[in-house]
Amino acid sequence: MNNSLYIYLLLLGDNSLILGHRLSELCGHGPNLETDIALTNHSLDLYGQVRSYYQYAAEVKGEGTEDSIAFLRNERQYYNVLLIEQPNSDFAHVICRQFLWDAYHLPLMRSLMKSKDDQISAIATKSEKEASYHLRFSSEWMRRLGDGTEESHAKLQAAFDHLYPYSFELFKETEIEKEMKENGIGANLSLIQTEWKKTTESVFEEANLKLPDTPPALTKGKQGIHTEAMGFILAELQYMQRAYPTMEW
């Protein structure tokens, strides 16, 4: 049970870690100052969640620290979905990726608030307000870009066509997720998907987006198999900790 709980905490925390890093890359590159600061704050919110997950994971495992869990694992030991590691190709990609994640993350946090695990419930309760704001922010930008100029709509549709097939991995239940669900600790992903569809379809319609014809992407991020982008992310993310092993956050 302890090992299953440990892996489940990584499944939760790794998404926030990698997305937080992707958003941190945008510092100083937002389309305007307000949006630049907002995305940076999103990154800080996610890293706050990461610390809580990894501190608890280290306690469950009985060894290591939040730092070693965050920075000293190999690529195959990270369990984030592939959607999260997609590059910041342009602002439309950033917003579309964020929205697809946010529409999943908010109902996930609301579900985990009812977890039988008190620490997971506490993390989710604290994160729910942040997730709610993140979804409101990305939803507004989806509408603005999709229902804006011809160019902004075209760029958002292109981002949507690329990213949407990756979103289905969010709901592919692993054996660990199934075990945690059955023990009343984890979320029921089929129920989360129902909420996700309700939110996304409403915003897609308002943004005048057409669903792509492409099938769901072949994804195994939850099994530790990643895209080429992940190696570059970890090279940057882990550099300081590996170069100076005693550093702390």
Note every long-range contact of 152-158, with CB atoms under 8 Å and residues 24 or more positions apart, other chains counting: 152/92, 153/207, 153/208, 155/90, 155/91, 155/92, 156/92, 156/95, 156/96, 156/207, 156/209, 157/209, 157/210, 158/92
Q: What is the dihedral of CA 67, 73, 77, 78, to 10 degrees?
A: 50
In this prediction, residue 30 carries a pLDDT of 72
pLDDT digits (tens, 9 = 90+) for 134-144: 999 999 999 99
In this prediction, residue 242 carries a pLDDT of 84
Confidence of residue 1 (pLDDT cuts 50, 70, 90): low
pLDDT digits (tens, 9 = 90+) for 40-57: 899 999 999 999 999 999
In this prediction, residue 206 carries a pLDDT of 96
In this prediction, residue 249 carries a pLDDT of 58
Average pLDDT, integer, range 151-177: 97
The structure tokens listed for 3 are 């090992």
Question: How far is the first Cα of the chain from the last one, in angstroms, to the nearest whole number?
Answer: 29
In this prediction, residue 37 carries a pLDDT of 84
Confidence of residue 113 (pLDDT cuts 50, 70, 90): very high
Write down all domains in the chain, each with its CATH number in brackets: 2-243 (1.20.1260.10)
Query: Do 50 and 189 touch, CB atoms closer than 8 A?
Result: no
pLDDT digits (tens, 9 = 90+) for 193-217: 999 999 999 999 999 999 998 889 9
Indicate yes or no: pTM above 0.85.
yes
In this prediction, residue 181 carries a pLDDT of 98
> Percentage of residues in the chain with pLDDT exceeding 90?
84
> Could you give the CA distance from residue 140 to residue 173 in angstroms, rounded to a whole number?
30
